[in-house]
A and B are shown apart, each in its own frame.
Chain A
Amino acid sequence: MRSATLAPPSEDKRWRLVDATMRRHGHSPNALIETLHTVQESFGYLEDDALRYVAKSLHVPMSRVYGVATFYYFFSLKPAGEHRCVVCLGTACYIKGGKAILDTISEMAGIKPGQTTPDGRLSLLTVRCVGSCGLAPAVVFDDEVKGRVTPPEAIDRVKDWF
């Protein structure tokens, strides 16, 4: 077991959660993904400083940390918008009109899927199946899954966020 002698990048208390995850796994390089999950959960995204801190603490080259952080869709290197609209494009949602919902919101907000509006109010994202196929087409507004959404309903919902 290796010990962590490094100080976190800042005084922020959230680093304690990150340290706790690394400690639980004995600061083993195997803990990389679990640690990045904790960072993302605590801070919302993976900052450069965070990646460097995790790399040093787990004795993993920065290249591997960056490789892992960019390989998996779940990790984000940029902060998300204040509100998140996630359109499901799983097969069931796709054939029931998920794409039309995405296009409508994309046009209204003037951003492409994966982007955040310049004012940081809204992030438009897509997902490959939230598993709510019974309710297709589904959209996740912030953390709430909404089923059988129509494009006008989606617009109504997102409009309030501007």
Chain B
Amino acid sequence: MAINMDELKERVVASQEADAQFTHSIRVCMASGCLSSQSDLLKKELEAELKKRGLEKTCQIKGVGCFGPCANGPVIAVEPNGPMYQEVKVTDIPAIVEALDTKPVEKLVLPTDTPFFNRQVKIVLENSGKIDPESIEDYIAAGGFEGLVRALHEMTPQEVIDSLTKANLRGRGGGGYPTGLKWSTVAKAEGAHKYVICNGDEGDPGAFMDRSVMEADPFRVLEGMLIAGYAVGADYGYLYVRAEYPLAVKMLKAAIRQATKQGFLGKNICGTPFSFEVDIRLGAGAFVCGEETALIASIEGKRGQPRPRPPYPAESGLWGYPTLINNVETYANIAPIIRRGMEWFHDIGFHKNRGTKVFALSGKINNIGLIEVPMGITLREIIYDIGGGIPNGKAFKALQTGGPSGGCIPAEHLDTPISYESLSQLGSMMGSGGMIIMDETSCMVDVAKYFMEFCMDESCGKCVPCRVGTAHMYDLLSKICDGSATLDDLALLEQLCDVVKNTSLCGLGQSSPNPVLSTLRYFRDEYMAHIVEKRCPAGVCKMKHAVEA
């Protein structure tokens, strides 16, 4: 099927005309968050109510991806220009339908003229909450596949890579490696086959950005992989997704089916010599599989244990062939950059950090949910403007980013602009985008222990420093938490942090001391209170030998 730009534009018009037949469109969030408060029931009920009133020809109902304010779910939005409703119950449906042409149902309205909505800049999530993720027509109407068609018909593979290099896109999995450079290494590598892998093994606790992207806009991820395949010369792609994300898997499967049917996947895509196929591989619950060499082992049907690099996957990856691995959010950025041009992308962000970053905001904060912000925004703006501050009049204590590989950032550094470099300097990291806010009721030693337990459980056992070191660090942290540790134990803990950080084989081990190191750096007094005074300042830890007051 030879799809060129004109043909694509015609489809856009056709799809927009189909939508224009309706005077209203009600969008119901069908992403995992709202689904767990029965938004699917709401959609059924809405359909029934419209039918009852004979409005099914004038009002359209669309199941869409995440709107962002996940804690206020289930969320629905009435378009055009209508209100957004929060915490909608089945019993509210008649009132909502009744109010379509009149004033909105006041008690359910979620105000959208707040910083939570208007301080965000959406690239990756631009379609999230707008299009039906199961409809390729919706995606095309929103500019989908324009990037792919442009790349295939108007650009050479080298020009595609150059655009990414000039746009200064960096890996959104957390490391921040320049995407253009990675792609050009794979493009230059020699191999009878090449593979493109999308890392959707979002294992960090407290992170659900990639899941939302896969659920809300699966075609965007496919388009990114397709453009990557064209640029590096690969003909096969794997989407590696956590088995814990059944809805994302369902959406991706449906997207692959539709894209294949419409000629965007398969042989001679859009009438060009380029051919590309995509298959899904399910993870099976191993955090370490987020590490690229472990992920490759897992796709090969083996235990997900990392191997030393070099050789890097770009030279020798899946089954020994050159392999490009990027994270979901990185692929989601590709199509907009090609479609709108690298200058547009380069204008967002600051210094060496261009574009946006999606964060999952959770913990002790008023506005919990998914946000996308330009690089360079300060942590304070995220927490107090977009996040709406700390609930119940409690004081902010720390912000945790980067999951078990990251660290805790205290109040005095909240004015730091977000960038890969600035977060590393603070002893944390950008990570994949989990952002957990803690207030004065959280004990930082307990938090460090929590992450160490995670790393201990998730250590694959291949290298000694990580396998044994994380267990020892966990024991020492447990001793501190129950009040039986001495200052010697603390010194030993610090020494172990250093050893594990510098001698572990892969990123999991190397970064596992980070939560301890960062809490020691900013909250050493809490450690001392546990060890010397045998008390937990936040009142979280139960002391074995509590000192009688």
Contact = CB atoms under 8 A, between A and B. Distances in A.
Interface in B289-339: 298-304
Nearest to A133: B362
Interface in A110-162: 127-136, 138, 144-147
A75 B121 CA distance: 40
Given A91-B436, A134-B70, A129 B36 contact: no
B500 interface: no
Contacts of A60: 301
B538 to A, nearest CB: 11
A33 B244 contact: no
A133 B281 CA distance: 25
Contacts of A132: 32-33, 36, 70, 208
Contact of A37 (B70, B284, B460): B284
Contact of B403 (A91, A130, A135): A91
B215 to A, nearest CB: 10
Interface residues on A, range: 35 or more
Interface stretch (A8-16, A24-32, A77-85): A24-32
A134 B73 contact: yes
B244 A68 contact: no
Given A34-B281, A133-B368, A68 B301 contact: yes
Interface residues of B, number: 51
Contacts of B303: 67-68, 71-72
A116 to B, nearest CB: 18
A131 B211 contact: yes
A91 B206 contact: yes
A73 B282 CA distance: 13
Given A131-B211, A133-B360, A133-B368, A95 B442 contact: yes
Given A67-B303, A71-B303, A95-B363, A89 B285 contact: no
B219 interface: no
A147 B205 contact: no
A-B interface, 4 closest residue pairs, ranked by CB to CB distance from nearest: A134-B70, A72-B284, A73-B285, A145-B36
Interface of A: 28-34, 36-37, 60, 64, 67-68, 71-75, 89-92, 94-96, 127-136, 138, 144-147
Given A128-B203, A129-B203, 9 more contacts: A73-B285, A91-B403, A92-B206, A96-B363, A96-B364, A127-B244, A133-B208, A135-B37, A136-B368
